[in-house]
Structure 1
């Protein structure tokens, strides 16, 4: 199976792909250019913000929850109006938002990180029933936030550790007990980035610098790999008909101008059909 270019705009740091199940439309971000991107029948779409934006969940047909460097926002895609839901490290100029995803209870997990990956500057939070609560601290690069289909656990990583963690969840979706290592990629020298779980419970993880997305069983066993033409894959999402298309964002960041030139694939957004069957992203309940 080969990756096709879904959108040829070359992001500096493409991230946070979200398939909106009611709109049947993919949204994603170019963090460093402060842009929310999408496509519909009319062609490419773009919304600009005054600070970095990185992750989203869907609230209803016209509304997204969007994470920015300073807050979580209710955002209307029709008229670009936004309302602040809560502050997010607003008084900390060092950090910005990074990876995030809705949980099966209608909450939203969001990670932060230092703008230049300052060691331990970030954290992971949960926004639930109108309240933001810190879950894990001293995170350098928050990534791989996703959830088991049976609601038993959440996954996340600090990319710099090369380890993906798993934490059990209680009946309301809160962490229960300490995180344990789900997957240690240190022996392979791989850097876990964004992740999503498919219908079977397999975890699909973009691996920064390796030009691929790899799938692992719920027990951490390697299953398969999908190669991509962009070196820095950042995050996967399932969407399309039957949720059988794997969309993958990528980045030009940290590549030389000779490598990431205007005809290169780096930073583009890709689609691979038929690799697995995903699940619709849960609705964020505000």
Structure 2
């Protein structure tokens, strides 16, 4: 990992989080944090509060009621997992301005990240080997999976722009081209970033081991699930029709009924408009 840190440092210095963002990260990664402490941490970011209130009062979430305070928005309208995901999105977007990467599509990036996170969280409850993990932990693991791409959009916008053009938005082709260009994958770059920002070791492990299919350890099932969900998110974001039979081997490895995966895929399709709205809020 030290060698990796040197490689990432050779690109450019990864940014240091401001104190307010550190407080928010610490709060959303504290399992049993009190309502008052979480709201206090979220309130240190005016832009985050504005987005949360705007989302809570959107047509999809408001149900005709107006929400005027952040506490109600978090606990009565949006829910903790969504708020945590949105908070991470706001923090990362503040730190990583991808505007110089002409072909970087924030809505596409966050749509994929959200679908990966939501699908993983829903499916994890049906997988015996993942019962030791909190649903919010699985959700965050999925949301952070491609964070290295966001970092590269800021650290190396011209190079990433050329990679996107060469890959024609093919997600796996992007992964290969990033590794060829930088000598390390965007998953490894993401792991180094999370280590610098002192996020929980589980999230660092997920990113550092994601491509190592021979990994054997407690989080093997989590990695298998995230690989499945990331593939699902690529098809969902691209409008590819879901084919359950293509996931049969993945489901067998996780002891997950294919019917369960099919049901989750249908739920995602039904909530496409809401997911698009969330992706827009997180990316803008």
TM bin (shorter chain): under 0.3
User: Larger relative contact order (C-alpha < 8 A, sep ≥ 6)?
Assistant: 2
Structure of higher CA gyration radius: 2
Say which structure is richer in helix: 2
TM-score by length of 1: 0.26
